[in-house]
Amino acid sequence: MKNIPNIITIIRIFLSITFLFIKPYSITFYIIYILCGISDGADGYISRRTNTTSKLGSSLDTGADIIMVVILSVVLVPIIKFPLEIIIWIVLIFIIRIIGILIAFYKYHKFVILHTYSNKLTGLSLFFAIIILKSINHLLVMSLVCIIASLASIEEIVIHSTKKDLDRDIKGIFFK
């Protein structure tokens, strides 16, 4: 039972890799994409409900998220024509994220991405954005995602800069 969440996460990694071989925005794409989204929520939910959370599971989940985002970026960026201001904004968010990672590495000597509510909201907004990007104004959708991602990235820097001890599962600076 304790390995089920990790198995679900590993399945998400393999499903993410299939995006490299299927047509974007096809029925198969959406089915796999939704399965990845469900598995992303299910692994954490099951591990918390069965009291089987672990550092390995947390790291696997973060790795699976990164793999999925990178692969989807490789597959979708050439298809979706982002305005220059959104591209610049995304680059700035990436730089802020790197700064947060460097601060955490310097402070804790570990690669750290926190599981804050704002990071979860960023992932959720990005998940739904990919579904609706084909039918709604790109600038509006991506601006909303970028606002959420910017706030989450800045929050992570604030947390790493002000907290003495590492807590990967901190809810955020506004939550206890």
**Tell me: the pLDDT tens digits for 50-77?**
988 888 888 898 899 999 999 998 998 8
Q: Which residues contact 114 (CB under 8 A, 6 or more apart)?
A: 156, 159, 167, 168, 169, 170
3-state SS class at 147? helix
Q: Report the distance separating Cα 153 and Cα 92, nearest Å.
A: 10
What pLDDT, on the 0 to 100 scale, is given for residue 137? 75
Mean pLDDT, rounded, for 28-56: 91
CA distances from 56 to 6, 45, 81, 83, 152 (A): 8, 15, 37, 38, 23
Residue 172 and residue 87 in one domain: yes
Which residue in this structure is represented by tokens 């305005």? 83
Domain limit, last residue, from 28, 59, 79: 79
Residue 89 and residue 176 in one domain: yes
Residue 64 and residue 98 in one domain: no
Domain limit, last residue, from 79, 101, 126: 79
Q: Nearest CA to 104 among 155, 148, 65?
A: 155
Q: What is the pLDDT of residues 72-106, one digit of tens each?
A: 989 988 888 888 899 899 999 999 999 999 999 99
Instruction: Reply yes or no on whether the pLDDT at 176 is more than 70.
Output: no
What pLDDT, on the 0 to 100 scale, is given for residue 79? 86
| Higher-confidence position of 59 and 1 | 59
What pLDDT, on the 0 to 100 scale, is given for residue 124? 92
Residue 123 and residue 59 in one domain: no
Residue 59 and residue 25 in one domain: yes
Residue 37 and residue 85 in one domain: no
For the chain, the domain total comes to 2
Residue 89 and residue 157 in one domain: yes
Domain enclosing residue 48, as ranges: 1-79
**pTM of the full predicted structure?**
0.83
Domain limit, last residue, from 79, 96, 116: 79
Residue 91 and residue 172 in one domain: yes
Question: What are 110's two structure tokens?
Answer: 């570990």
Q: What is the pLDDT of residues 109-126, one digit of tens each?
A: 988 888 899 998 999 999
